[in-house]
Structure 1
Amino acid sequence: MADPQQVEEPVVDDANAGPSKNELKKRQKALEKEQKAAERAAKQQELAAQKAAAEVDYATEFYGPLPLHQSQTRPQLPRAQISSFSARDGETVLFRARVQTSRAQGNKMVFLNLRQRSDSVQALVLVAPEKVSKQMVKWTAGLADESIVLVQGVVRKSPEPIKSASVQDVEIHVSQVHLISGIEGRLPFTLEDASRADTEEVIYDADGKPQQFNRVLLDTRLNSRVIDLRTPTNQAVFKLQSAIGDLFRQFLSSNGFLEIHSPKLQGAATESGASVFKVSYFKGNAFLAQSPQLAKQMAIAADFERVYEIGPVFRAEDSNTHRHLTEFMGLDLEMTIEEHYHEVMELLDNLFLSIFRGLREKYSNEIAIVGKQFPADEFKWREGPEGTLKLTFRQAIDILVEDGVPRETLDDINTENEKRLGRLVKAKYDTDYFIIDKFPMELRPFYTMPDSEDPTLSNSYDFFMRGEEILSGAQRIHDPALLADKMRSKGVEPDSMKAYIDAFRMGCAPHGGGGIGLERVLMLFLKLNNIRRASMFPRDPKRLDP
């Protein structure tokens, strides 16, 4: 019989039992994880969609390289000059320029300094919906300095002066920028370094901290002259060089002179065989002309009466100085004399005064640009009743002797004493420009007319700027017998220059003239200190390239 105390426990079916609390927690966590994953996926999908939308470049037609310019079309769109922008506030302009510098700020903005010759303006490329994309800003920021671009934009007044540009009161808000010509390789130096004043020792950043910079030496400049010539200083220098030529031509044309063009190949060494270049000429030899001297005189004998020439002059002198070139541009003139050779000297004086006044009155901006890199005292000359200072050679010697130069060393005035005389004249007479007359005959070429009273002196003169000679001239010998005699005394055989002598045998009026070195005038007016800075591609005993 079973024990009544033992009651059988009911059997529980685990399969039908509900989830435990732990199980519920696990399921909740899994559900939350799935929800977060779904949210992340949705967010990533949304970001991807936004990124894809952002990568759509809506400005592709507004920037980028242009096809090679082969004159395919001629749309005749008006092109603007940077120099006119100050008066064009609010206008849309299209212009070609070089990228002088670029400065990006983040990925939405880039500033450009754009240059035409010596004029420059700031331009802003700023992201704008449907106009300027981020891609356009990034591409523009990557343009190499000195690239040539075609830019379209609106001229806007600047809230403050833009000191880094020559046009300081406006800037260009760019809507289009296209590359016309890029840069291969690296620039040999930056235009910023090449434009810095030689006297500048330290430069500072915006916070006033001293910065390192590269000084560009003259040889480095000349070896890469094309880049160097792009600086605002050089743009101004060679505009002034052109101006001197124009002023020379205008003055002489208005005074009855005729421009001539003489040959530069000659059959004989004209003035001194030691300083001419000999060149092969078919089966013989020829010489490069030291000056148009013979041709000018022969033109006078042909009754042209007043002639001038602007052309190259060649000197085979191994002179490696600050003021000598083996090829330079000569400004030469010759004219008949009515009564006295001082007629020629006085016309030359008036010619120089006309050039000086023209430069000061018409080109003050260019002179100021050069002065920033090459600081110098303003060039001075005497005006009014007193006129240009004129000294005889003996008076010039006396001034040097009074200053302590031994008289026995002054048979000629060498370069050192020329400069010394210039300083003394400036201190005493307050002028950088003066004339010395009546040089000793032994110092002048064979065609120079002797003084009528003292045959040891000549009817000749030199003109000086800042103590350096810039013109040599004289009355010429027009009598064939006297000319032949003087040629023999200088070691020149008259028969070697028969055509020249024969011109005077046919009768020739008394005449005189002078020759001017264009580069030397420019160098001294601006005080550039080296004639190579006044020559676009200088030639000296050590340089034939570029």
Structure 2
Amino acid sequence: MSSEQPKAEQSLPERPKEGGDASAPPAEGEAAAAPSKNALKKAAKEKEKAEKAARRAAAEAQQKTAAAASDVSADRYGDLPMVGSVPYAGPSGETRIKLADLASAYPADGDAPPADTTVVFRAVVETARVQSAKLAFVSLRQGLDNIQGVVAASDEGGISRQMVKWCGGVSPESMVLVHGGVARPKEPVKSASVQHLEIHIGKLFVISKAEVPLPLQIEDAERPLPGEGKDAADEAQEAAAGRPIVGLNTRLNNRVLDLRGKHNHAIFTIKEGVCALFTEFLRARGFVGIQTPKMMGAATEGGSNVFEVTYFERKAYMAQSPQLHKQMLVASRFERVFEIGPIFRAENSNTARHLTEFTGLDLEMAFEEDYHEVVKLIEDLMLYMFKGLRERYKKETDLVRSLYHVDEFQLPEEGKVPRIPFKEGIHMLREDGADVGDYDDLSTPDEKRLGALVLKKYHTDFYVLDQFPLGVRPFYTMPSPADPHASNSYDFFMRGQEIMSGAQRVHDARFLVRRMRAMDPPLDPDQPGLKDYVDAFRYGCPPHAGGGLGLERIVMLWLGLPNIRLACLFPRDPQRLMP
């Protein structure tokens, strides 16, 4: 028998079954099927399309390169390198101007600027638009001022069409450096605050480019809050124009952009002005500025309205006011003190006039014979502040009030601030039909109602209520010798809303202890946080009084703002802790 094995039968490739997958890869040893005519045509079209796109891109790039090479303005515009990213070459020697100074140097009723007047300044682009191939307009803003910039193509001036197009496309809110000539426009530019001048732009460089689209348009934020300060005709006109409604939450969630609005710059310029006027007046009268702690070891003025924090391994509390420390300093022979600082109130009040953190303007002073010496000084302080705002911040005040159509703030005659006894205020309310008790604290509606009555009778939005009921005042308030149910305490009001609470303080330690124990519920004078305070008066202390003003409320009521959050840069309330 032969030892040879039979040869294996040679296998032939199978033909694809009818309906099989012609695109499947060939089996091992199987020859690849030839591509179909449709596939070949499709590939050829794709290749031709790609080649055309490449030729077009190359042509465009060549055109751009040629245009750039022939652009006579190539060094007059563009994006500057990020400041600090390249070595500093030293001062440019350019004198940069402010638009406000430019407007003052060439007033509308004065001579026109000389033909060769040129300026350099940094500004923000409000709007930029191309009018034609040879003309673009750029609205340039600096603070509360804005001016029209004109970019006009000119062979003589060295301004190219490329520059015109580029300038008209700068994104709004970008910061730019401008070189240009100053001229009078043929007609006043009504859209600008500097209407009698315009800038003929010769150079424009972007210092910091704004990303687009913006989450909030500045012009939308510069209108009143929805439903505030508008009549039906205003709202109908805005609706017809298709303008978006930007509510308070949207504004506060995008606060950095919102704060760029001109009216916001005016609000916070005025707010700083209130602090400056407050400080000026008091320093001129011998007051010393102080800084008291904002973290306390005990909730000394009521535990329910205080914020508790962790202080290492024990509890601490955010200060509800500098009250106790102000008095301790008076006992330390600092007889006239003031402070501007934060105050924290854990009140779950979601109203238009409450914040959980606000700025207090506090003062305390020793007096000689009667606490009304302090009342008079605070009246004079407030009038000084109001008159200072009228004189120094008229432009800002008028700008904000025009937004909400607010009436002028009415002031009393010199030395005639209405100082109304609390009982008389109750009588005025009852005569007007209000149901109020003799010694009840006033509700917000009652305060506003009384404010309207005072304005009608005394022709002023500013007044004082004196001799408040003792039962609604803190333990350190001096009772009234004329009425056991009243106290030597007072509140100050603007437009019918309280802006300050104050009183004569108890300065005798033994009497203070009796007052504390008579409270409902009683207070322990030996408890932590209060013992040091009580002991401060055991070593002799002059009679003294004072008060605390709410800065944001003053600004809100002076300007007629509909919500106190508009008077706070980054407001804190029960619902908001950011940004």
Which TM class, normalised by the smaller chain length? 0.7 to 0.9
The normalised TM-score by structure 1 is 0.87
CA apart distance, 1:320 = 0.5
Confirm or deny: 8 A CA contact 1:434 1:464 kept in the other structure: yes
Residue 461 of structure 1 corresponds to 490
SS in 2 for 1:103: strand
SS in 2 for 1:505: coil
Residue 479 of structure 1 corresponds to 508
SS in 1 for 2:188: coil
Cα separation, 1, equivalents of 2:275 and 2:236: 38
Relative distance call for 1:281 and 1:53 in structure 2 (3 A) is closer
CA apart distance, 1:159 = 1.9
Residue 19 of structure 1 corresponds to none
Note the alpha carbon deviations across 1:462-481, whole angstroms, 9 max, x for none.
00000000000000001111
Task: Give the partner amino acid of 2:459.
Answer: D
Asked if 1:124 corresponds to 2:150, the answer is yes
Asked if 1:105 corresponds to 2:144, the answer is no
Residue 195 of structure 2 corresponds to 168
The one of 425, 447, 458 aligned to 2:454: 425
Relative distance call for 1:437 and 1:302 in structure 2 (3 A) is same
CA apart distance, 1:375 = 1.2
Residue 186 of structure 1 corresponds to 213
The one of 334, 347, 370 aligned to 2:364: 334
Confirm or deny: 8 A CA contact 1:85 1:155 kept in the other structure: no
Relative distance call for 1:143 and 1:203 in structure 2 (3 A) is farther
CA apart distance, 1:453 = 2.9
CA apart distance, 1:202 = 4.3
Residue 319 of structure 1 corresponds to 349
Aligned residue runs from structure 1 range 31-180, under 5 A: 56-70=70-84, 72-75=88-91, 76-86=93-103, 87=105, 89-90=113-114, 91-129=117-155, 131-180=158-207
Asked if 1:533 corresponds to 2:533, the answer is no
Confirm or deny: 8 A CA contact 2:140 2:149 kept in the other structure: yes
Task: Give the partner amino acid of 2:102.
Answer: F
Task: Give the partner amino acid of 1:357.
Answer: K
Relative distance call for 1:210 and 1:284 in structure 2 (3 A) is closer
CA apart distance, 1:407 = 3.4
Task: Give the partner amino acid of 1:537.
Answer: F
Relative distance call for 1:58 and 1:500 in structure 2 (3 A) is same
The one of 522, 526, 530 aligned to 1:495: 526
Task: Give the partner amino acid of 2:81.
Answer: P
Note the alpha carbon deviations across 1:308-339, whole angstroms, 9 max, x for none.
00000110100111110000010000000100
Residue 392 of structure 1 corresponds to 421
The one of 301, 310, 313 aligned to 1:280: 310
Relative distance call for 1:438 and 1:409 in structure 2 (3 A) is closer
The one of 515, 522, 537 aligned to 2:555: 522
CA apart distance, 1:194 = 1.4
The one of 399, 415, 438 aligned to 1:369: 399
Count residues with an aligned counterpart.
493
CA apart distance, 1:55 = 7.0
Task: Give the partner amino acid of 2:508.
Answer: D
Confirm or deny: 8 A CA contact 1:202 1:212 kept in the other structure: no
Relative distance call for 1:437 and 1:53 in structure 2 (3 A) is closer
The normalised TM-score by structure 2 is 0.82
Moved over 3 A (4+): 51-55, 407-410
Cα separation, 2, equivalents of 1:391 and 1:411: 16
SS in 2 for 1:470: strand
Asked if 1:201 corresponds to 2:235, the answer is yes
SS in 1 for 2:75: helix
CA apart distance, 1:406 = 1.8
Confirm or deny: 8 A CA contact 1:203 1:213 kept in the other structure: no
CA apart distance, 1:231 = 0.8
Confirm or deny: 8 A CA contact 2:171 2:211 kept in the other structure: no
Cα separation, 2, equivalents of 1:293 and 1:372: 38
Asked if 1:260 corresponds to 2:323, the answer is no
Q: Which moved more, 1:168-177 or 1:261-270?
A: 261-270
SS in 2 for 1:463: strand
Note the alpha carbon deviations across 1:130-157, whole angstroms, 9 max, x for none.
6211111111111111011111101111
Q: Which moved more, 1:340-349 or 1:476-485?
A: 476-485
Confirm or deny: 8 A CA contact 2:310 2:316 kept in the other structure: yes
Cα separation, 1, equivalents of 2:257 and 2:439: 44
Aligned residue runs from structure 1 range 301-320, under 5 A: 301-320=331-350
CA apart distance, 1:341 = 0.3
Confirm or deny: 8 A CA contact 2:129 2:169 kept in the other structure: no
Q: Which moved more, 1:434-443 or 1:131-140?
A: 131-140
Task: Give the partner amino acid of 1:495.
Answer: D
For the pair shown, which has the larger CA radius of gyration, 1 or 2?
Answer: 1
CA apart distance, 1:361 = 1.2
SS in 2 for 1:523: helix
Relative distance call for 1:493 and 1:73 in structure 2 (3 A) is farther
SS in 2 for 1:494: coil
SS in 1 for 2:83: coil
Unpaired runs of 5+ residues, structure 1, are 1-47
Cα separation, 1, equivalents of 2:577 and 2:383: 34
SS in 2 for 1:79: coil
Identity of aligned residues (%): 50
CA apart distance, 1:103 = 2.1
Cα RMSD after superposing both structures: 1.9
Note the alpha carbon deviations across 1:482-512, whole angstroms, 9 max, x for none.
1122222333221121111111112111000
SS in 1 for 2:204: strand
CA apart distance, 1:383 = 1.1
Asked if 1:225 corresponds to 2:255, the answer is yes
Cα separation, 1, equivalents of 2:267 and 2:76: 37
Relative distance call for 1:488 and 1:72 in structure 2 (3 A) is farther
Confirm or deny: 8 A CA contact 2:426 2:438 kept in the other structure: no
